[in-house]
Amino acid sequence: MVRSLIQRRQEAERARVEAYEASLRRVSQRARPAPDFQQAIDAVKRGFEREIVRDAYAWRPQMKTRDPARLRLAAARYLFARYPVAEHLEQIWIDTTGLAPEDIALRKRWYIVAAGGGALYRAGADVWLSRKEVHAFLNPLGRPNFAQAIWQAIARSYANDPGIAMRIASSRIAQWPRPEADFGFWREVVRFFCAHPTSVEEMEDLSDYLAHCRQQDARYGLKGRTLASLTRQMHAWHRDLYVIQRIEAARLRAEHVRDRARGGFLQPQAPAGGNWPGAMIADWSWTTSNKDRSKREEYVMTQLRTAAALVSESAAMRHCVASYASKCIGGQASIWSLRRRVAAATQRLLTIELDRQHRIVQVRGLANRPARTDEIKILERWAKARGVALS
């Protein structure tokens, strides 16, 4: 049957309409779900039901956002806030990345107390902050995060210059964790930098050095120290680290050569603070027989088998024993340290070098002094107990 021109036009029009509707179906977006206000309410009030100040089921916000973080913050403001608070307190409802559960609970508690008009000092902030510092914490300069606001508040209590406080808060000091045992030490560090202002870069370098010192000695403090003396000690520490890296690189090269000689292949790796075998002699100790235990003397002979131990001995005794690392790594020598302990105090007395046959080659005290008579007697005891040959 022959179709008329009008029929062909109608069929072509229907095809165009069907193709257009099909393309619309392909590109049209699905209807977006409504914001889940109830989920936000449930997430925020969990664990803090007693602190709610408004009816949770009466919340009808005029919000179009589906962002869970923004919904949680809006729910927290509705449930707990009588007064506006600073941004660093509200951040806990938005992002908790990297925080321990106890830190999350603490920050939420502080927000609820501050937003409800309560006394943050009496609510537990007195463990870290004074009343003046709590006020500074609630009214920070700029837009710090929670930890930065704490350290900025502490710095503002010691320095009248707001620039100093903001520099301290922007340094790595504000990134240290919150252990109560060390909080007092870092408060002392902040006070030191308020009294001795410096750049953020130098503050961070010195903070790394101070963290190392604190790790080595829990009693380490800043009383009587100056910025110049700390800077000198920090540079000496950096030089020691460089020497340690060189010794470790030499140790790895020696291991690589030995491994290849055995027919294997050691994959190159960065210095990792390892040790070398050293002499096959056990460490030794001897205690004097004194009825008063507080006056008993213990003499300890310890073999130094790591780069860090050699460098520490060299710095403490003011001699060049660190330069003997290559001999120790190669097995031609072993280095020993004689130390005296009374109560909790330890004193380095002598540094001893043994050759491959376990014979004493050198004995040096502080600044390369020779051994004293009483120290030689201790050496004789050690030599007899461990089969070391005295020259």
Contact between 358 and 385 (Cβ < 8 Å): no
- From 115, 178, 131, 124, select the one nearest 151 (Cα to Cα): 178
- Residue 91 has a pLDDT of 96
Residue ranges per structural domain of the chain: 34-118, 284-386
- Residue 274 has a pLDDT of 62
Extract the tokens encoding 68: 């869970």
- From 78, 90, 84, select the one nearest 54 (Cα to Cα): 78
- Residue 249 has a pLDDT of 81
- Residue 155 has a pLDDT of 96
Extract the tokens encoding 152: 């900025």
- Residue 276 has a pLDDT of 86
391 residues of the chain, pLDDT tens digit each: 566 778 888 888 888 888 888 877 776 666 566 677 888 899 999 999 999 999 988 888 888 888 899 999 999 999 999 999 999 999 999 999 888 899 999 999 999 999 999 999 999 999 999 999 999 999 999 999 999 999 999 999 999 999 999 999 999 888 765 556 688 999 999 999 999 999 999 999 999 999 889 988 888 999 999 999 999 999 988 888 888 888 888 888 877 777 777 765 444 443 344 688 899 999 999 998 877 777 789 999 999 998 888 888 888 888 887 778 888 888 889 999 999 998 878 999 999 999 999 999 999 999 889 999 999 999 999 999 999 998 7
Contact between 287 and 388 (Cβ < 8 Å): no
Angle, in degrees to the nearest 10, between helices 307-317 and 227-261 = 140
Phi-psi region of 351 (alpha: psi -120 to 50; beta: other; left: phi over 0): beta
Note if the pTM is more than 0.85. Answer: no
265-270: which pairs have CB atoms within 8 A and are 24 or more residues apart? none
Gap between the Cα atoms of 210 and 220, Å rounded: 9
- Residue 272 has a pLDDT of 43
